[in-house]
Chain A
Amino acid sequence: MSSSQRPIWMGKPRLVTRIAKGIALFIVVMLVIFPFWTIVATSIATPEEVVANGGWVVIPETISFAAYTDILRGGVITNALTVSAGITLVGTATSLVATIFLAYALARPNVVGGRPILLLVLFTFLFPPAMIPSFLVVKETGLFDSYAALILPVLINVFNLVVMRGFFQGVPGELIEAARLDGAGDFRILTRIILPLSKAVVAVIGLFYAVSYWNSFFNAIIYLDDTTKWPIQAVLRQYVSQGAALADTSEATMVNSPQSVKMAVVVLATVPIILVYPFIQRFFTKGVLTGAIKS
């Protein structure tokens, strides 16, 4: 609902229902917020307090941003952030375009080659390529050690593709027919009919791609040699492991990178998504569809 008023057709829910829902929601929110609160709190606690409390702090006695300054110092993170931002923006845009095009084409019934291509695509979902053959392909195509290696090899995710196609198929056929009779070609149908009615799914799939690009790091390490091109997650993980260098000898277990640093890494990884998500949320409001009755 775009307004916070209840529509006329909805009766007022019973009190019992409201209480039950309230309790359920409260539990859900608490289950999520409380651990996250602990993570944030631990990230701003001093190492001594963290150790004394066995690794987790709920209410820090002294606040210290040492973990964050430690990570953000030196410009390495800012560089990696720029890289990740670039990869995410460009990657999400290209992936969305490629996915939308393919999903739309496959959503049109009786399109030539539709079924074989769909099956071809599904097959790759069941048998994903292994690491070394993928690496060889990246090398052969000359993408090695370039930013494109972080985007092109993962351009389309089959799950996203199939879901988007499913939503596109849900657009009422009458609308398409009507547009066709008005003289619209396939491309215009996509831009004028399908996409405006699919804002929710495009937003969702865009979000999925963005998160996937933002979180990628393994491909970066395998396909890149130049560490200045590393995205943010690859760098952040090293902050967690760098304590190990202090005691690398004969099977010594990792020296404890302060727990506060580990928690700060989690927070830093999550902050961007927290910032972006409200914008995506707008698309989840009801009443986006106008017009025709769905059968």
Chain B
Amino acid sequence: MTSINRRNLLRLGGVAALAGTAGPALVACGGGGSAGDVSNQGKDLAPFPTFVPFQGPEPDMPGDETGVQPLYLHYPQDVQSAGFDTPGDGSEVTISMVTYGTPPGNLESNQLYQAFNEALGVTLKLTLIPAATFTEKMSTMMTGNDFPDIIMFGGGNVVPREQQFIQANCHDLSDFISGDNVKDYPALANIPPYSWQGLGRIGGRLYAIPTERPVFGGCLMVNRSALNDIGVPLDWTKEDYVSAMAELTGNKKYGVGMTGDFNPDFWAGSFGAPNLWQVDGGAFTPTYATDQYREAIQMLAKLFSDGHAYPDGANLPATDMKTQFYNGTINNYRDGWGAMGTYTFNMAKGFTADFGNPFAGGKPWGGQGRYGYVAFKKADDARIKMLLGICNYLASPFGTREFELFNYGVEDAHFTRGDDGAPVQTELWETENKTNIPMTYVASAPLVLYYNGYPDEAERIYEWEKQVAPITQPDPTNGLRSQTWTEKGAELEQAIRDAYGDVIFRGADIAAFDEAVEGWMDRGGRQAAEEFQEEYETAKS
């Protein structure tokens, strides 16, 4: 095989633009064979599951429906069981999911695995698919006739004709979880509405359970200490940013770092550009055609040509750009929301890592509200209920015993309690952990804002969330289907990426970008806009 690491490479930031596209990845509708009709038009729409927040440990600061997460400065002291029955019936359950971790080795002797089996009441048979080869492996799996009981999709991975596949081979879950039906599964009812809406429906029905992620999209990771040193305020404007970048450059240090396949979403949003699409009276226009987006691109191009951006950025993989951030060579760069965490705080030596606020008047772009999702192979009702029970159990909220099992392991074996009650991992966790048995990608609790050992940072991020969540704009095509977009979306997006790459890194005139947008419209963008519009009309329910 020639192509080896390509999928892995694609994940290094390049898929960012792709992940913002409508719904779960790419699908084509129609055609022949048994490919069904996945659009939602003219169908009875199954209502999304009712949102019933779970009563867990009291957070220090509450979350809210704009997407702010509940804040826990310290680990909850009152950890209790969620009260769920053992969902399984002792049978074997096969699950396919993505893995970023190393193989777990012999599962018979793996305590974590045995604990999972016992808690869930089944024998788990896991097919772990390395992220780098997810598309290929899933494609081969789909050629056969035997699928796992639970199939995971998403995480930025593309699977050809994903929704048609699900519609043809997976169980319609609407009767089990739509509307109030979901109350049978309290942990699933705890999944916030934006996750379900981002997932959308297939042919009007519900087929899958999402793994929630917060609403935030691309963020600017900044060196707060450096900004404070030159007196840049927390609430800043575009002009503040540009002059800050100039001031921070010098002495082999640079203001900003942009990689060759970076996503300009933070800046675009800060300039007020709509999130990928703008809906105006029902009509969809792409963000690329807006003035605000153009301005953002031009600003970035000027940063680069003025020398205030890392010169070798175009050739640098995203991970190496992070290294330059940690060692102070660059002062900010764009990353996903999930990049903030204890790891970042550990690596940022001698300075405070923080998220930059969007520039005054900007509207930050939101994400899809999930990492991935799972669907179930067609089966009889009893089995589906059991599988739902398993997902429910896996999604036990933060602060419950069950959550601890799937995120920290078995007490005394994989973790001990520190003085503050927070789990401290043992050595066994290095070989048996949630990275190499990633049940959290099947179903998991909605994330909370808790950074073990960094309460101040957590509080600061909470402040940031309170400011940003209300003005975050979601992609209006989340949950909508367009045949053209799913067939051609990746290719079209790549052309745009190439175009602004030319403008920013290679000094092309903004007119080249405009031309690319024209081409984008002609080669499918316009068509997709119309299709989204049709879906949009029906989806407003």
Contact = CB atoms under 8 A, between A and B. Distances in A.
Any A–B CB pair closer than 8 Å: yes
B88 interface: no
Contact of A249 (B4, B15, B139, B447): B447
A249 B337 contact: yes
Interface in A208-229: 217-219, 221-222, 225, 227-228
Interface residue tally of chain B, by bracket?
35 or more
5 shortest A-B CB distances, which residue pairs?
A249-B338, A252-B336, A74-B431, A252-B338, A227-B103
Interface string B1-23: 10011001001110110011000
Contacts, number: 170
Interface string A244-282: 111111111111110100000000000000000000000
B389 interface: no
A76 B103 contact: yes
Contacts of B129: 221
Interface stretch (B51-59, B176-184, B209-217, B414-422): B209-217
Given A79-B105, A238-B102, A248 B8 contact: no
Contacts of A248: 100, 155, 338, 371
Nearest to A139: B144
Contact of A218 (B1, B218, B336): B1
A253 B322 contact: yes
A48 B263 CA distance: 28
A135 B100 CA distance: 23
Contacts of B102: 76, 235, 238-239, 242
B58 to A, nearest CB: 24
B251 to A, nearest CB: 15
B103 A251 contact: no
26 contacts: A51-B326, A54-B323, A55-B323, A74-B430, A76-B102, A79-B106, A218-B136, A221-B133, A221-B136, A222-B136, A237-B8, A237-B130, A238-B102, A238-B103, A242-B100, A242-B102, A242-B436, A247-B338, A249-B214, A249-B336, A250-B19, A253-B12, A253-B16, A253-B339, A257-B319, A259-B323
Given A250-B216, A250-B368, A252-B337, 20 more contacts: A51-B347, A55-B323, A131-B1, A217-B4, A219-B1, A221-B137, A227-B128, A237-B8, A242-B436, A246-B341, A246-B435, A247-B338, A247-B341, A248-B155, A249-B336, A250-B338, A251-B13, A251-B15, A251-B20, A251-B367
Contacts of A255: 319, 322, 339, 343
Contact of B13 (A135, A243, A253): A253
Contacts of B16: 251, 253
Interface in B4-52: 4-5, 8, 11-13, 15-16, 19-20
Contact of A230 (B103, B136, B216, B326): B103
Interface string B421-444: 000000000110001101000000
A1 to B, nearest CB: 40
A226 B102 CA distance: 13
B228 interface: no
A148 interface: no
Q: SS class of chain A's interface: helix, strand, loop or mixed? A: helix
Contact of A241 (B104, B132, B322, B323): B132
B327 interface: yes
B320 interface: yes
B338 A256 contact: no
Given A139-B144, A244-B11, A227 B104 contact: yes
Given A235-B103, A244-B100, A245-B435, A251 B336 contact: yes
Interface in B264-293: none
B486 interface: no
A61 to B, nearest CB: 15
B104 to A, nearest CB: 7
A136 interface: yes
A238 B214 CA distance: 27
A71 to B, nearest CB: 9
Interface string B67-103: 0000000000000000000000000000000011111
B101 A242 contact: yes
B335 interface: yes
Nearest to B333: A253
B394 interface: no
B324 interface: yes
B438 A250 contact: no
Interface residue tally of chain A, by bracket?
35 or more
B143 interface: yes
A195 interface: no
Interface string B125-156: 00111111100110110011000000000011
Nearest to B326: A51
B105 A249 contact: no
B155 A250 contact: no
B103 A135 contact: no
Interface in A26-82: 48, 50-55, 73-76, 79-80
Nearest to A228: B106
B377 to A, nearest CB: 16
B338 A221 contact: no
B371 A250 contact: yes
A171 interface: no
A132 interface: yes
B105 A251 contact: no
A218 B335 CA distance: 29
B318 interface: yes
B329 interface: yes
Contacts of A246: 341, 343, 435
B329 A54 contact: yes
Contacts of B347: 51, 256
B460 interface: no
B371 A131 contact: no
Nearest to A229: B103
Contact of B140 (A135, A228, A247): A135
B254 to A, nearest CB: 12
A254 B318 contact: yes
A257 B16 CA distance: 19
